[in-house]
């Protein structure tokens, strides 16, 4: 059981809940803080204090006072009116992460909600009730208003939820799990809707997938180096000591470990005077991307425990302060940078694919097939990779440099952080396919170098991969092979095989 405190979550915790369905509860200490903040808020309201979103309208309606007997309806209405998302639904892992992060943010004790609000979110999470959240409709200004509204609707017994893979009305899902629907009190609707939890959840999932991709890319790049009979000289530690970027040094070390004791590179049956950049500059390109991902991780490390509500209740000071912690700019910039880094990983991979299928530069059979002419081999697989690279170039345009004012210019500069997250996930999926195609081509190329063998680590990797995808003797439909190779990467099978034989950083 993960007990949330409001300020102690780790990215590993979020992934445990999102991917492994770890159960979650609210700690006693956090519960006491939440109750203290709620009592303070209620006292301030009873004293006649005017507090934004508690007894006023929202946004440009902040100057309109709301009578006490309308407060429940006010909180209900903000959720209903803000549930205006469209587009494909977010995946369940992202939804689970968002539910956890929303509960954790409220558990910090700065939002003024009742403990039952957090308990209901966690009960839904533990019961596998996943609100259906459209992926489009947030500009990342007051956080993720529309996505969070769709999340909250289910807790109120409305909207739609996915339960065991089936779409179920929110009220029915709660009833079947024995969970009482929420009736929101003062401040609670606003507190549930304000915040960056959905884009942060998408970012944590994207970070995990990106880290898998960057480690996998080193392995696949090394396999391509073997297939191409490349030179190991560009990975010499003396070169990288002269330009000590952290990621670059890590990748160079990975390449040395992966290529160690290679019969192919010792023999070098097809030598070139100097390698193309897509081989020679693997440490510089992969490494620079790793550094960007590390920066994004540092942003997410802060954000998963951040208070991104508005207004914020400082119970000990008996003050309610209005600010802008819900603005998604830190995340938007990080996601845009990560999208560019992942796109670069795919772009350099496609160049190695082109290298592998070209007989004149590889010394391998054209298009990596023995019976040429009668068979086309991997000709069109490279075309598919080129298409995905071209799409990634368009997707890499940063969302964070754009802003469209909303809410009658009250929200006059927005982050587009959720759009950045959606785009990043698209780039990651494209790049998984590009690397899958390189994995297919590089393994085919290494097999064509027999009887010479790659280094022991990559030789074991090749054998493991051949249990999923067989050598291409004659033409066959390649889409199933590409999908198998993508899953071999995505499900960490590739990393797990390699990590049995060497320490991959």
Last residue of a domain, one of 146, 172, 195: 195
Position 315 in a domain: no
- Looking at the fold, whether 111 and 240 belong to one and the same domain comes out as no
- Looking at the fold, whether 237 and 108 belong to one and the same domain comes out as no
Specify the pLDDT at position 411: 82
- Looking at the fold, whether 352 and 243 belong to one and the same domain comes out as yes
Q: What is the CATH number of the domain that holds 398?
A: 1.20.200.10
Last residue of a domain, one of 173, 195, 217: 195
Q: What is the pLDDT along the chain (505 residues), one digit of tens a residue?
A: 999 999 999 999 999 999 999 999 999 999 999 999 999 999 998 888 888 878 887 766 767 777 888 889 989 999 999 999 999 999 999 999 999 999 999 999 999 999 999 999 999 999 999 999 999 999 999 899 999 999 999 999 999 999 999 999 999 999 999 999 999 999 999 999 999 999 999 999 999 999 999 999 999 999 999 999 999 999 999 999 999 999 999 999 999 999 999 999 999 988 887 899 999 999 999 999 999 999 999 999 999 999 999 999 999 999 999 999 999 999 999 999 999 999 999 999 999 999 999 999 999 999 999 999 999 999 999 999 999 999 999 999 999 998 888 887 778 889 999 999 999 999 999 999 999 999 999 999 999 999 999 999 999 999 999 999 999 999 999 999 999 999 999 999 999 999 999 889 9
Last residue of a domain, one of 160, 195, 230: 195
Which residue range(s) make up the domain with 272?
203-308+327-499
- How many CA atoms lie less than 13 Å away from 159 in the CB half-sphere? 31
- Looking at the fold, whether 294 and 391 belong to one and the same domain comes out as yes
Specify the pLDDT at position 56: 81
The C-alpha atoms of residue 66 and residue 74 are separated, in whole angstroms, by 8
Q: What is the CATH number of the domain that holds 168?
A: 1.10.275.10
- Looking at the fold, whether 267 and 186 belong to one and the same domain comes out as no
The C-alpha atoms of residue 100 and residue 205 are separated, in whole angstroms, by 13
Q: Where are the beta strands (DSSP E) in 35-178?
A: 86-89, 129-131, 134-136, 160-163, 166-169
- Looking at the fold, whether 271 and 238 belong to one and the same domain comes out as yes
- Looking at the fold, whether 107 and 230 belong to one and the same domain comes out as no
- Looking at the fold, whether 112 and 190 belong to one and the same domain comes out as yes
Of 102, 65, 156, 84, give the one whose Cα is nearest residue 303. Answer: 102
Structure tokens at 15: 């992934």
Specify the pLDDT at position 3: 98
User: Domain total for the chain?
Assistant: 2
Specify the pLDDT at position 404: 86
Q: Name the DSSP class of 50.
A: -
**Per annotation, catalytic residue among 52, 110, 355, 433:** 52
- How many CA atoms lie less than 13 Å away from 461 in the CB half-sphere? 35
Is 52 an annotated catalytic residue?
yes
- Looking at the fold, whether 174 and 61 belong to one and the same domain comes out as yes
- Looking at the fold, whether 392 and 258 belong to one and the same domain comes out as yes
Q: Model's pTM, two decimal places?
A: 0.96
Q: Are 351 and 278 in contact (CB under 8 A)?
A: yes
Position 313 in a domain: no
- Looking at the fold, whether 407 and 304 belong to one and the same domain comes out as yes
Of 335, 57, 30, give the one whose Cα is nearest residue 202. Answer: 335
- Looking at the fold, whether 217 and 183 belong to one and the same domain comes out as no
Position 318 in a domain: no
Position 504 in a domain: no
The C-alpha atoms of residue 255 and residue 234 are separated, in whole angstroms, by 10
């Amino acid at each position: 059981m993960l007990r949330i405190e409001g300020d102690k979550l780790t990215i590993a915790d979020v992934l445990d809940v999102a991917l492994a369905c770890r159960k979650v509860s609210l700690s006693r200490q956090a519960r006491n803080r939440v109750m203290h903040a709620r009592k303070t808020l209620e006292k301030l309201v009873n004293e006649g204090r005017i507090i934004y979103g508690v007894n006023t309208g929202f946004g440009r309606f902040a100057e309109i006072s709301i009578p006490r007997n309308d407060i429940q309806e006010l909180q209900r209405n903000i959720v209903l009116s803000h549930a205006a998302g469209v587009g494909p639904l977010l995946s369940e892992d992202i939804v689970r992460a968002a539910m956890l992060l929303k509960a954790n943010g409220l558990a910090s004790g700065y939002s003024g909600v009742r403990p039952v609000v957090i308990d209901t979110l966690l009960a839904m999470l533990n019961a596998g009730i996943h609100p259906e959240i459209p992926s489009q409709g947030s500009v990342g200004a007051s956080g993720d208003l529309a996505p969070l509204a769709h999340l909250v609707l289910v807790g109120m017994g409305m909207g739609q939820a996915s339960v065991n893979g089936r779409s179920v009305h929110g009220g029915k899902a709660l009833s079947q799990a024995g969970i009482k629907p929420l009736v929101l009190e003062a401040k609670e609707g606003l507190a549930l809707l304000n915040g960056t939890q959905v884009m942060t959840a998408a970012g944590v999932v994207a970070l995990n997938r990106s880290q898998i991709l960057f480690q996998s890319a080193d392995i696949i790049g090394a396999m391509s180096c073997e297939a191409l009979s490349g030179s190991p000289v560009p990975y010499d530690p003396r070169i990288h000591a002269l330009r000590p970027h952290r990621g670059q040094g890590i990748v160079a070390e990975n390449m040395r470990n992966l290529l160690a004791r290679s019969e192919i590179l010792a023999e070098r049956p097809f030598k070139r005077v100097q390698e193309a950049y897509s081989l020679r500059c693997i440490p510089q390109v992969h490494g620079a991307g790793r550094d960007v991902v590390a920066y994004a991780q540092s942003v997410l490390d802060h954000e998963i425990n951040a208070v991104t509500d508005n207004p914020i209740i400082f119970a000990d000071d008996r003050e309610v302060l209005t600010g802008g912690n819900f603005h998604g700019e830190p995340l938007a910039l990080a996601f845009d940078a990560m999208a560019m880094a992942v796109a670069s990983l795919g772009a350099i991979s496609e160049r190695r694919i082109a290298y592998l299928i070209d007989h004149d530069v590889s010394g391998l059979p054209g298009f990596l097939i023995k019976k040429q002419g009668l068979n086309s081999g991997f000709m069109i697989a490279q075309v598919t990779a080129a298409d995905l690279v071209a799409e990634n170039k368009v997707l890499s345009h940063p969302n964070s440099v754009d802003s469209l004012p909303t809410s009658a210019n009250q929200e006059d500069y927005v982050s587009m952080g959720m759009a950045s997250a959606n785009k990043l996930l698209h780039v990651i999926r494209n790049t998984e396919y590009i690397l899958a195609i390189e994995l297919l081509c590089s393994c085919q190329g290494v097999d064509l170098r027999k009887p010479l063998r790659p280094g022991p680590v990559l030789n074991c990797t090749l054998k493991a991969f051949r249990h999923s995808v067989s050598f291409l003797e004659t033409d066959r439909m390649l889409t199933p092979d590409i999908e198998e190779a993508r899953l071999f990467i995505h499900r960490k099978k590739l990393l797990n095989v390699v990590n049995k034989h060497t320490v991959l950083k």
